[in-house]
Amino acid sequence: MRQLAPFLSLLLASRVLAVTVYNQQPLADQTNTASPATYTGAAAYDPTVLTPPPVPDGFVTQLSLSLSPTSNNLQGLSPPLKGSFLGFSIEFSVINQVMGINSSFLQVPFLNLMSNIRERAGEVRIRVGGNTQETATLVDSLPGGVMIMKAEINPNNPTQTPALLYTAEVFNLLGNISALVGVKWFLGIPFNDTSNLRLGIAEVGEAVLSPPGYLLGFQVGNEPDLYAAHNNRPSTYSPYDYFGEFATVVDAINANDAIPVKNNLVAPSVSGTWSPEDVFNTGFVPAFTGALGYLSVEHYPTDNCYAEYGIGSPVNPQDVFPNYLNHNASLGLVAPYLNASAYAASQGKPFVMMETNTASCGGFPGISDSFGAAMWAVDYGLQMGVAGFWSGMIHVGGQDVYYNPFTPPPTNQSSYHQWTVGAIFYSSLFIAEALGPTGTAQIVDLTNSLTSNGVAPVLTSSYTPVYGIYENGQMARLVAFNFVTDSSGASGASIVVGVQGASVGSVQVKYLQASSVSEKYNITWAGQTFGGSTFASDGRLTGSVSIQTIPCDSTSSTCTIPLPAPCIALVFLTPSALAESNPSTTQTFATTAYTKNSNTATINPTVLATSNGMSGAQREQLGSTSDENGAERLRVGMSVAGLAGVGVLWSWW
């Protein structure tokens, strides 16, 4: 692993603002066209493009479905869910890169991206944590007034996770973001040393975020089943040991008057080395039911740890790409948690996937940043809902991961580059519209041949799954996939939909679409996009909205929905369902900046990888040094559209 840079370099790097500037210059040719075999830059911009799998033998292109108009006695129906279901897990150590450097300077592209979700879902759910939450320590102040910095690294930890120091300014940052774009937060209580608990995050977090309703809960332990493997606990560490340490935290919170809310803890957040049942079988939930707000797990379908750490076996992304491109992938991911989610429901606890993505240790080039990953995440998210999850969080790391939903540019490029929006971000946007803001949406997987209550099976395959979404007990939307790539057009499918006992004159359809499952950036949602390349987005959708109106056959009372290869179609069966999920306007935020650089220094990063979050490794940062006569200036103005009285002007001399 890389060595820590000097403290002064870190301090300088943290003082430079990341801003949005319009009329950007295009990305240098060598980054756009570099051969994957020779590319040596940050993973977030890796140009690797894989070959789509061939059209499967016997692929069925004609589907049919007869829907029940109501959810009465319908089998396999999810609990009621919100459009904020598929949120984000942001590694604690990169929040100053992704969200803002303090509570006054917020990252405008991040606000715009979250606003897109909020306008459709009513809120956004974000977990701040990961491996770096375990070593985080709240301090009164840091040199230079920064709100967060990395300290020493434990050389015995194979993930090389840096210790984290932060100030109360972090909570002010989170609170201001919530006030603007409706984010609700999960935070993590440090758990690396339960003999010396550090509960400052709960004390200050409650004081700042709980009264306005911005705080969801506190995670206690991030993947405790991996503590022994990461040399954070003895090799004998067991679920019973975790039980005992959790009790220590509960007792300390109960005795702490500065933590008024006693029932919002999140646990056990195991990753698969232990099953949730391994922890539940200790009597965990009955013992701590008064303290537990949520039950949780974390899980990635596979890993790319050999490439990063030399752990495990090498994986060729091309070989495993097909594994993400069919419905069996999502069914297999939720199957181990069906019992746990049912148990959580029986105990009255929401069941949360606190962290997931395409693969741990940063994901795979060509998979994690592809349209196929976006399709996979929509299917996985909807299937988690069917399986009884309350929410799922797509993980966000630093520059050296392939799977980020969004990535700010390296700080030394922030004056001329915008953000890179990853394909997988579209999955959260899609699910926000599919479920809507009412909190009454219920999902049913129609691919699994439900035949009770008059619902006919879908004549389909694992490449064309279909979900129904009921709202307030009434059929409102359909989600239909075509995972196949075929440039000839021969594999474009269609689904004939009929609603029993109802005559539907027409339906409206939005498509999440790309030319191939391998496509990285030329992705459109209802005709709009976040940009066709890296460094191309300020967080706002561009282009004209395209909603297809499909006339229905009045004689047969059926509607035929085309499914181009590849795509996901969101079918609105009623005008009210469309109006609810299709905001007429979205609050956006604008930034302007100008610089005159007369003395700069390029500094290597000090943010190192974690097992999942890969929190910023290889992030190139710029330290800016002013001339003594003040010749170099940086001025940033943030104007907030539609929000009176909010405006910030910073000037450094």
Model confidence pLDDT, tens digit, residues 24-49? 223 333 333 344 557 889 999 999 99
- The answer to whether residue 5 is domain-embedded is no
CATH of the domain at 505: 3.20.20.80
Q: Is 502 exposed, middle or buried (0-12, 13-18, 19+ CB in 10 A)?
A: exposed
Burial 35-63 (b: 16+ CB within 10 A, else e): eeeebebbbbbbbbebebbeebeebebeb
pLDDT of residue 32: 36
Question: In this structure, what DSSP letter does residue 51 have?
Answer: P
- The answer to whether residue 219 is domain-embedded is yes
pLDDT of residue 162: 59
- Tell me which residue range forms the domain holding 351: 62-153+160-581
Nearest to 573 by CA among 478, 472, 435: 478
599-652 pLDDT tens trace: 322 223 332 233 344 433 333 332 222 222 222 222 223 333 333 233 332 222
pLDDT of residue 456: 46
Q: Tell me the C-alpha distance between 361 and 401, whole Å.
A: 8
Please count the other Cβ atoms lying within 10 Å of the Cβ belonging to residue 286: 9
Q: Is 413 exposed, middle or buried (0-12, 13-18, 19+ CB in 10 A)?
A: middle
Asked whether the bond before 566 is cis by omega within 30 degrees of 0, the reply is yes
- The answer to whether residue 516 is domain-embedded is yes
- The answer to whether residue 608 is domain-embedded is no
- The answer to whether residue 441 is domain-embedded is yes
* Domain count of the fold of the chain: 1
The whole-number mean pLDDT for each consecutive block of 10 residues of the chain, a chain of 653 residues, reads 30 30 29 56 96 95 90 92 98 96 96 97 97 94 95 58 88 98 98 95 98 97 96 96 98 98 98 98 98 98 92 96 96 96 98 98 98 98 98 97 97 90 98 97 81 48 94 96 96 91 89 98 98 95 96 90 98 94 81 36 29 38 27 30 32 24
- The answer to whether residue 575 is domain-embedded is yes
pTM, entire model = 0.86
